[in-house]
Each structure stands twice: as structure tokens, then as C-alpha cells.
Amino acid sequence: MLDALDRPLRDLRISVTDRCNLRCRYCMPREVYGADYRFLARAEILDFEEIARLARVFARLGVRKIRLTGGEPLLRREVDRLVGMLAPIDGIDEIAMTTNGLLLADRAQALARAGLARVTVSLDALDDGVLRAIGDAPVSAQRVLAGVDAAAAAGLHPLKVNMVVRRGVNDHCVADMAERFRHSGVVLRLIEYMDVGASNGWRLEEVVPAQEILRLLQARWPLEPLVPAVAGEVASRYRYCDGAGEIGLIHSVSEPFCGGCTRARLSADGKLFTCLFARRGHDLRALLRAGADDGQIEQALREIWGARADRYSAQRSHASAPAQGGGPKIEMSYIGG
């Protein structure tokens, strides 16, 4: 199944909740997501059976990898049970999860037993002061690292740690993060600060380009590029020449990779988004709850993906981003990044 630009659908990111236990300023600033913010009600969120049913249809259309996201996915009760429902689906090769790691130490074993293959942990600094300023919460790096260690012990490999690099905020922490994960078997991925949503006050001057990060690292540790492990891989991969492992750079602002994008995103309330920077989604929950059969859902997905021509980042890199319908872009916390 190909879109209008001949890109197949291979990866499905499923948000299981729009809630999070942090208020990171680049994602869910407290000024917007405060005590009076209305999160989705339980009845609005897809239940596990609905998610699994959609996943089976997506698998028939070519999806091979599912990633569970949020919000913070470990806030969803019994999410390991959902993993156990998704893992046996014919055609699905891998179930992964992206988490902030705060609850991972206690959940890693259960997730692995249920069929989770690997996990990516978000960690933007090792310094607690910097981390708390970013997350706007009393979070400890050691608690996140305990989750990373528990995931490794549970066999959730390869482990990745994502660091969003923002100039003047945590760019001075890059070398320390690289040093921490060298020789650990954990792949650190350094991500350019992106203009997702409308609430984070994104400014281009706060983006640290991937090439600048690479030069900083190479000044200390010689690196050499690696070939992509899979088609459509979002990170440029490098290995330390001294054998200390590898590192990744995600450059969606400075060097967009829209041409190889094979990802769709399903929100917690069942809306399908064909781009991280979309302004609207397609309501699959309405189809499910109106009694549509699998054939009707499959046909709807074929029409949605067949019409897809999204390439926001590539267009942004050449000129000011064009309008994609009315209203602001969807927030990252709603569709899981």
C-alpha cells in the first residue's frame, strides 16, 4: 500500500494515553497543560480490544512494527496486557515503546514477558537541575537510569536513549550524555528541537543542527558513519572508532527525511495522523463504534494512505511551512512524537 509519493506504510505509532507525569517545556508546557487542562475521558480513549483490532487491519496492509507511545504510555493501566495482545498478530515483527522511564524499573520485566521487544527512553540531561528545568517536575536522572538498567536486565534490546537538544538549555550536556552511554550497549540518539504543535514556543535559533552536534562529538571521539539498518531509518548512525558503541543523530529540521517516511500515528482517541506535523486526523474510532467491519476499515485506511502527500519538514526547509488546512498543528503529546 503506497501513498501519493510512493511511500509504503510500515510503521504504526499508537498513543495509549494523552497524559504524562512530566511537563517538559518543549512538549507539554505547564502553562498550557495545567491543573485545569481537560485530558481525554476514559470513554473517549480506545480500549485494548479496539486497538488490537485496528492493529490487525494495519498488519494486513503492510505494517510490520508497532511503537506504543503517549503521553507517557506506562501511565495506561495494564499496558503490558495490550502488548500481549499485539505481539502475536500475524505480520507484526516488533512491538516497541517510547517512555520517559520514570515507571520503567518496576514494569520492564512484565513488558518483556508480554512480548515487548525493545524500548526507547527519553532523557535530556544527567544533571538533575537541568532535567528538572526541562521537565518542570522534581525528576531524578538516577530514577530514569534505573529504568534503563531494568530494561537491559529484562532483555529489551537494543536499548535507545533519546535526548532533545535545545540551544541554551541542555546543549552543554551533550558530551556528558555521550560519555555516560559509551561502552554501555545503549544507543544515545540526539534529536534536533522540532516545531511540533503550537504550545512550545519553538524558535529556529534554539535548534542545534545535527552537524554541529556531530562536530562537537568528533572533536573528542573519532566517529565513522554506519549504513542504515533499515529503509526509512530516521537517525543517521555513527560508530565510535574506539569500539565504544554507536550514536544516532535525528536531523528532521536541518536535513528532513520526509521522502522515506513510512509512519502513521494513531491517537489515544482513535484518530489517524499521516504526519507528525498534521493539523487534523481521520476518525477511526467513529468507524469502530458505528459497527464498521474490518473490510470497511481496511478500505478507509487504503483511501487515507493513498491520498497522503505529507512532507512538511521538507517544505519547511525550503521556505516558510505552507498551510496544511486550518488551525494549529497537532501537539506532540497527543500523537506521541
Task: Show pLDDT as tens, one digit a residue, over the chain (337 residues).
Answer: 999 999 999 999 999 999 999 999 888 999 999 999 999 999 999 999 999 999 999 999 999 999 999 999 999 999 999 999 999 999 999 999 999 999 999 999 999 999 999 999 999 999 999 999 999 999 999 999 999 999 999 999 999 999 999 999 999 999 999 999 999 999 999 999 988 777 777 888 999 999 999 999 999 999 999 998 776 678 999 999 999 999 999 998 888 778 889 999 999 999 999 998 888 899 999 999 999 999 999 999 999 999 999 887 777 665 544 444 445 678 878 888 7
Quick check: is 290 in a domain? Answer: yes
Q: What is the pLDDT of residues 282-328, one digit of tens each?
A: 999 999 999 999 999 999 999 999 999 988 777 766 554 444 444 56
Q: Which helix (H) or strand (E) holds 13?
A: strand 11-15
β-pairing, 271-273 vs 282-283, is antiparallel
Beta carbons within 8 Å of 86's beta carbon, 6+ residues apart = 51, 52, 55, 66, 92, 95, 115
Quick check: is 5 in a domain? Answer: no
Q: What is the pLDDT of residues 232-258, one digit of tens each?
A: 678 999 999 999 999 999 998 888 778
Phi, psi of 94 (to 5 degrees): -155, 135
8 Å CB contact between 95 and 87: yes
Report the number of distinct structural domains present in the chain. 1
Give DSSP secondary structure letters for 234-295: SSEEEEETTSS-EEEEE-TTTS--GGG--EEEE-TTSEEESSTT-S--EEHHHHHHTT--HH
8 Å CB contact between 263 and 13: yes
Quick check: is 46 in a domain? Answer: yes
Please name every residue paired with 266 in a beta bridge, in sequence order, or none if there are none.
14, 272
The pTM assigned to this predicted structure is: 0.94
Quick check: is 2 in a domain? Answer: no
22: domain range?
11-335
Quick check: is 147 in a domain? Answer: yes
Whole-number pLDDT of residue 323: 42
Quick check: is 19 in a domain? Answer: yes
Quick check: is 4 in a domain? Answer: no
8 Å CB contact between 290 and 320: no
Quick check: is 3 in a domain? Answer: no
- CATH number of the domain residue 189 falls in: 3.20.20.70
Q: What are the grid coordinates assigned to 189, written together?
A: 540518539
